[in-house]
Amino acid sequence: MFKEKLQPFIDRYNEINTLLSSPDISSDIKRMTDLGKEQSGLSVLVEKAKEYIECDDSIIENRELLKDPELGELAKEELPELEARVKVLEEEIKLLMIPKDKNDDKNIFLELRAGAGGDEAALFVADLFKMYVRYAEIVGWKVEIVSSSDGTAGGYKEMIAMLKGEGVYSKLKYEAGVHRVQRVPDTETQGRVHTSAITVAVIPEVDDVEVDIKANDVKMDVYRSSGCGGQSVNTTDSAVRLTHIPTGIVVAIQDEKSQHKNRDKAMKVLKARVYEAELQSQLDETSAERKLQVGSGGRSEKIRTYNYPQNRLTDHRIGLTLYSLDGIMNDGNLKLVIDPLIAHAQMEAIQEAGL
């Protein structure tokens, strides 16, 4: 019975309450903080679980009262309402019972890179980045450009930005992969549709506790910045390239005039990429976890096509097709894509958990 699956959560919640009132715990700040977070995460689930149990008990009681000549009519009136409420609660509780992704509340590094298609791919990097910026404005997130590399005919060969706000990773984690665009480039004189592709990486921000990178494991090179910039560009060795020797991961930042600032930015990105590589390795080893992803989330997987002539966006992982590409790209109405992706992932997680 579904009701039996709820009791362990209630028991754990009560256990945490007991532990938090213990003198032994009060002297251990980290333990108290961890228990407080767990308690907070369980509170809504336990509240709904108790209501579910109460409703289910009332249904059983009312069904028995149907035989009563005096109370039977009243029980008959209450039953439909109780049964409807139990169904709603069950669906809500199933979502709350899904194991929470520990990165969901984190800020992210959003990395966009031009792939096949040359200049047109670089232009699409700029277009897609504008879409994410508009979406961020709608939901109240902050966007900070970490590093960028201009395309030869406009746009960006590479764009790295940090997005800060509530639940950023939870909303954008399914954006990772290859995004394909089909449209007529401005340089095309005969009106032919070209296909280009860019890659998007969504990497959760990490702190020093989560990733410990030893100084001996990082090689730092400095060089002169290139491209647009201030007076220091091409005159001082302000650009920084960090190489993580154990993994071979390389990060190059040149946007700031100060070598120190570029190094700090590069180290933050490097730690996040090392963390992401470790996460991906864990997912690759755990087939059950991999099933919970909408696709693998790998950078080589083609996840979406943006077809401008048909005003069509297709997400290939869930078979979603929308004929409102202009609203998504120009107005940042990415919610039309994100919500179905999250709903699909939640459904898969519920099935995987056997709920």
Amino acid letter for position 304 = R
- pLDDT tens readout for residues 21-75: 888 777 788 888 888 888 888 999 999 999 999 999 999 999 988 888 888 888 8
- Looking at the fold, whether 154 and 261 belong to one and the same domain comes out as no
Q: Rounded to whole angstroms, how far apart are CA atoms 30 and 89?
A: 34
Which helix (H) or strand (E) covers residue 238, if one does? none
- Residue 159, pLDDT > 90, answer yes
pLDDT in the model for residue 235: 56
- pLDDT tens readout for residues 251-274: 888 877 788 888 888 888 888 888
pLDDT in the model for residue 240: 86
Would the pTM of this model clear 0.85, i.e. be above it?
Answer: no
In sequence order, which residues have a C-beta less than 8 Å from that of residue 167 and are 6 or more positions away? Answer: 104, 105
Nearest to residue 85, comparing CAs of 106, 58, 117, 112? 58
- Residue 287, pLDDT > 50, answer no
Sign of the Cα torsion 321, 325, 327, 329 reads positive
pLDDT in the model for residue 2: 84
Query: What does the block give as tokens for 295?
Result: 């696709």
- Residue 137, pLDDT > 90, answer yes
Query: What does the block give as tokens for 189?
Result: 């004189």
pLDDT in the model for residue 14: 92
Q: How confident is the model at residue 101 (pLDDT cuts 50, 70, 90)?
A: confident
- The CATH number given to whatever domain includes residue 337 is 3.30.70.1660
pLDDT in the model for residue 354: 74
- pLDDT tens readout for residues 305-333: 999 999 999 999 999 999 999 999 999 99
- Residue 175, pLDDT > 70, answer yes
Q: Rounded to whole angstroms, how far apart are CA atoms 279 and 277?
A: 5
Quick one: what percent of the chain has pLDDT higher than 90?
Answer: 43
CB neighbours of residue 242 within 10 Å = 21
- Looking at the fold, whether 71 and 21 belong to one and the same domain comes out as yes
Quick one: what percent of the chain has pLDDT higher than 70?
Answer: 89
**159 is a domain residue:** yes
Q: Lowest-pLDDT range, 71-80, 155-164, 231-240?
A: 231-240
- The CATH number given to whatever domain includes residue 27 is 1.20.58
- The CATH number given to whatever domain includes residue 235 is 3.30.160.20
Nearest to residue 305, comparing CAs of 178, 156, 193? 178
As to burial, measured by CB atoms within 10 angstroms (0-12 exposed, 13-18 middle, 19+ buried), residue 87 is: exposed
> What is the three-class DSSP state of 111?
strand
Point out the domain boundary residue: 97, 125, 159. Answer: 97
Q: Phi and psi of 244, rounded to 5°?
A: -85, 105
pLDDT in the model for residue 257: 79
**290 is a domain residue:** no
Instruction: Confirm if 116 and 150 have CB atoms less than 8 A apart.
Output: no
**168 is a domain residue:** yes
Q: How confident is the model at residue 236 (pLDDT cuts 50, 70, 90)?
A: low
Point out the domain boundary residue: 62, 97, 132. Answer: 97
- pLDDT tens readout for residues 108-117: 999 999 988 7
**Domain with 22 in it:** 2-97
Spatial strand order of the sheet with 249-253 comes to 218-223, 239-244, 249-253
Instruction: Confirm if 146 and 164 have CB atoms less than 8 A apart.
Output: no
Point out the domain boundary residue: 97, 132, 158. Answer: 97
**92 is a domain residue:** yes
- Looking at the fold, whether 182 and 124 belong to one and the same domain comes out as yes
- Looking at the fold, whether 125 and 225 belong to one and the same domain comes out as no
- Looking at the fold, whether 27 and 72 belong to one and the same domain comes out as yes
- Looking at the fold, whether 85 and 133 belong to one and the same domain comes out as no
Give the chain's mean pLDDT: 85
- Looking at the fold, whether 198 and 115 belong to one and the same domain comes out as yes
Pairing of strands 177-183, 302-307: parallel
> How many domains is the chain partitioned into structurally?
3
Q: How confident is the model at residue 239 (pLDDT cuts 50, 70, 90)?
A: confident
Q: How confident is the model at residue 178 (pLDDT cuts 50, 70, 90)?
A: very high
Amino acid letter for position 81 = E
Kindly state the DSSP code that residue 224 receives in the 8-state scheme. Answer: -
Q: Rounded to whole angstroms, how far apart are CA atoms 31 and 29?
A: 6
Instruction: Confirm if 303 and 315 have CB atoms less than 8 A apart.
Output: yes
Which helix (H) or strand (E) covers residue 142, if one does? strand 142-150
In sequence order, which residues have a C-beta less than 8 Å from that of residue 111 and are 6 or more positions away? Answer: 158, 159, 160, 200, 201, 202, 203
Selection from 126-135, 147-156, 220-229, 288-297 with the highest mean pLDDT: 126-135
pLDDT in the model for residue 321: 97
**292 is a domain residue:** no
pLDDT in the model for residue 157: 92
